[in-house]
Copies of this chain bind each other. A is one copy, B any other.
């Protein structure tokens, strides 16, 4: 069933049918009788337009390429896709998705494949925030980096979570609860600073934390570097911290998995979370709400990041300055893992 079939059945030219179906009837002064005939023909034939053909003619596919390193590793990174999907639908676009598995050659190939398919633009996404060079292939057309911070100056815009502000928020939570001493970082080293390689989250969060703490005339009592932020590491690190000279009164765990391990270590040590030691965390994975007491965590705004990337991409023709870095706010999810110091045991 093609437009020609419909036109023939309605006894009009293809042109007329096209005008009617694309809503240009009035503009083209097609009579309502003719319109009715065409619409009836559409009904009867069950005609559906061939979008491939339309795309070839108009030069617009209404499709956006979404190339990510991996959808698999971080569970709720799927929300990145979710947000992108939603924003795309709001603008009547569909997403063509592919995964590079971290392979640069594959990345280039996939970007080119997508351009060959005449996508309107490409979102190059990482599932965790990291620094990276902008692949040359990306420069061949409109594109946006998602969760990727370009290592060098570039014209490609990027969308990332506001990690520094998140760090400040976490530190403020502790200050407001009266914490001043015995605040430890779990996941990054302090003095000398040591953060997992390539992790924007680690260094920016730490910067934000120290910014706020030093403004309040205090600072971190210490920290334990972890290469990989998993529960076991959090457990071991917390054990270490509990053996330090300055007694731990608050832990800033650099993600929820680390917090999970920290909870186990604190429980093993017979310490009551929030009562003896406060814990703040980052990411707000589901497990944060499962723990008892509920873990206060600064959330990664995956959904919003995904949305934003699409919106920046689609408005590249003006609003957004080329090369702009858009930072998306990380909301604080307050639960019960931070206790007020005056109420703390031994205060």
Contact = CB atoms under 8 A, between A and B. Distances in A.
Contacts of A260: 290
A113 B77 CA distance: 26
A117 B51 contact: yes
Interface stretch (A31-39, A67-75, A177-185, A193-201): A67-75
Q: How many copies does the complex hold?
A: 2
Contacts of A287: 287, 290
A13 to B, nearest CB: 21
Contacts of A48: 112, 115-116
Nearest to A85: B99
Interface string A74-117: 01111101100110010000111111000000000000111111
A133 interface: no
A118 interface: yes
Contacts of A56: 50, 52-53, 56
Interface residues of A, number: 48
Contacts of A52: 52, 55-56, 61, 117-118
Nearest to A84: B97
Contacts of A231: 290
Contact of A94 (B70, B86, B117): B117
A116 to B, nearest CB: 5
23 contacts: A48-B115, A48-B116, A50-B56, A50-B116, A51-B118, A52-B55, A52-B56, A63-B96, A71-B81, A72-B79, A75-B285, A78-B78, A81-B81, A81-B97, A82-B99, A85-B97, A89-B98, A94-B98, A94-B114, A96-B96, A96-B97, A97-B97, A260-B290
